[in-house]
Chain A
Amino acid sequence: MEYFEWLELSPLGDWVATSTWGYPILLSCHAIGLAVVAGSLAMVDLRVMGCFPGLEISPLRSLIKLAWVGFIVNLISGFSLFAGQATYFINHPAFLIKITCISLALVSSARLQSLLKQHADDWDGGGIVGSNAKILALSSLLLLCAAMIAGRLIAYIE
């Protein structure tokens, strides 16, 4: 607990909590990062699940790299937002669920990324997308949605 109090009182935590623009600027960055991560991954997930079948899968690997950039943006902006109210967030059930969903989404997306590296060219050449890849894509998509739901609920439940 002491660490989270220290974080709140640190220059970063203090700037987020008390400056006029710190919080809105970070929230904007967080929304941009969200669009990049969730948008890019959703396209990859939907494609692997069989939507828009005409589109090549292999080049979408660059889109996953773009998603990682968005993830870094949200890791930094999210940590800063967290620093502003660390003792509050660390006890908030919706926040803890959100972090759990993001961690799991991270694992399934990384796993999907390595499957794409191994098999995407084969799939584009007419090979059938395996059900393990489809399940990973679906779970990545559902976890992203769950993270967004939990994130929004942070503002609504105590």
Chain B
Amino acid sequence: MEQWILTTSLHTWVIDTPWAWPLFETLHFFGLSLMLGALFVVDLRLVGLFRGLSIQRTLQLLPWASFGFGINLFTGLMFLMGDPERYFSHTGFRIKMLLIVLAGINVLWFVLRIGGPLQTWPGHSNTPLEAKLIGVLSLVLWFGVLIMGRLIPYVSTG
């Protein structure tokens, strides 16, 4: 995989274009702010805070969170194309990817168990324990992703 990436013209473009890396990094920050901002509202409401917000209406923010995730998926792939040798064997990167997978499973848990019944909950009431658990897990996992990502340049490879 690594070897194949090094032969692509996209790899050469990312490495040889001076503004590509800083641009994608900046977009990566925009994407994470959008995604985490939207998730704060949704997750904190799931936890039972912000009860002034109707819980069903907070779900309107999920497309914004997905858009932020999409920006970061794209820019993240660009980093991977530009410098595959740095990432694939990197412990920090591997932990980050593992946390993203776990966060994805948490989303699945939400969709399968909470998404349906939530529609009938009173909009401004407290939430059941399972919803609180999902909200807390989401915040913990995504902050873990953020920290691991920020540490990638500082944690040694291998």
Distance A150 CA – B152 CA, assembled complex (angstroms): 21
**A49-79 Cβ-contact flags toward B at 8 Å (1 or 0):** 0011011101110110010000000000000
Please tell me if the beta carbons of B30 and A148 are within 8 angstroms of each other in the complex.
yes
Please tell me if the beta carbons of B29 and A34 are within 8 angstroms of each other in the complex.
yes
Q: Which of A1-53 contact B (CB under 8 A)?
A: 23-24, 27-28, 31-32, 34-36, 38-43, 46, 51-52
Distance A156 CA – B149 CA, assembled complex (angstroms): 19
Please tell me if the beta carbons of A40 and B40 are within 8 angstroms of each other in the complex.
yes
Please tell me if the beta carbons of B57 and A31 are within 8 angstroms of each other in the complex.
no
A145 close to chain B: CB less than 8 A? yes
Please tell me if the beta carbons of A56 and B57 are within 8 angstroms of each other in the complex.
yes
**B116-154 Cβ-contact flags toward A at 8 Å (1 or 0):** 000000000000000000000000000100110111001
Please tell me if the beta carbons of B50 and A35 are within 8 angstroms of each other in the complex.
no
B10 close to chain A: CB less than 8 A? no
Please tell me if the beta carbons of B61 and A56 are within 8 angstroms of each other in the complex.
no
Distance A66 CA – B33 CA, assembled complex (angstroms): 14
Please tell me if the beta carbons of B37 and A56 are within 8 angstroms of each other in the complex.
no
Please tell me if the beta carbons of B61 and A55 are within 8 angstroms of each other in the complex.
yes
| Given A32-B146, A59-B53: A39 and B40 interface contact (C-beta under 8 Å) | yes
| Given A39-B33, A148-B26, A149-B26: A59 and B52 interface contact (C-beta under 8 Å) | yes
Please tell me if the beta carbons of A39 and B26 are within 8 angstroms of each other in the complex.
no
Nearest-CB distance from B51 to chain A (Å)? 8
Contacts of A117 in B (CB 8 A): none
B88 close to chain A: CB less than 8 A? no
| Given A42-B37, A43-B41, A152-B22: A35 and B61 interface contact (C-beta under 8 Å) | no
Contacts of A59 in B (CB 8 A): 50-53
Nearest-CB distance from B4 to chain A (Å)? 29
| Given A32-B146, A39-B34, A42-B37: A55 and B53 interface contact (C-beta under 8 Å) | yes
Q: How large is the interface on B (under 10, 10 to 19, 20 to 34, 35 or more residues)?
A: 20 to 34
Nearest-CB distance from A142 to chain B (Å)? 12
Interface centre among A52, A66, A144 (most CB of B within 10 A): A52
B54 close to chain A: CB less than 8 A? yes
Distance A81 CA – B50 CA, assembled complex (angstroms): 33
Distance A32 CA – B142 CA, assembled complex (angstroms): 10
Please tell me if the beta carbons of B40 and A55 are within 8 angstroms of each other in the complex.
no
Distance A63 CA – B64 CA, assembled complex (angstroms): 17
Pick from B36, B40, B51, B57: contact of A63, CB below 8 A. Answer: B40
Question: What are 23 A-to-B residue pairs whose CB atoms are below 8 Å?
Answer: A24-B151, A27-B151, A28-B146, A28-B150, A31-B147, A32-B143, A35-B37, A38-B33, A39-B34, A39-B37, A39-B40, A43-B38, A43-B41, A52-B61, A52-B64, A54-B60, A55-B58, A59-B52, A63-B40, A63-B41, A63-B50, A148-B29, A152-B22
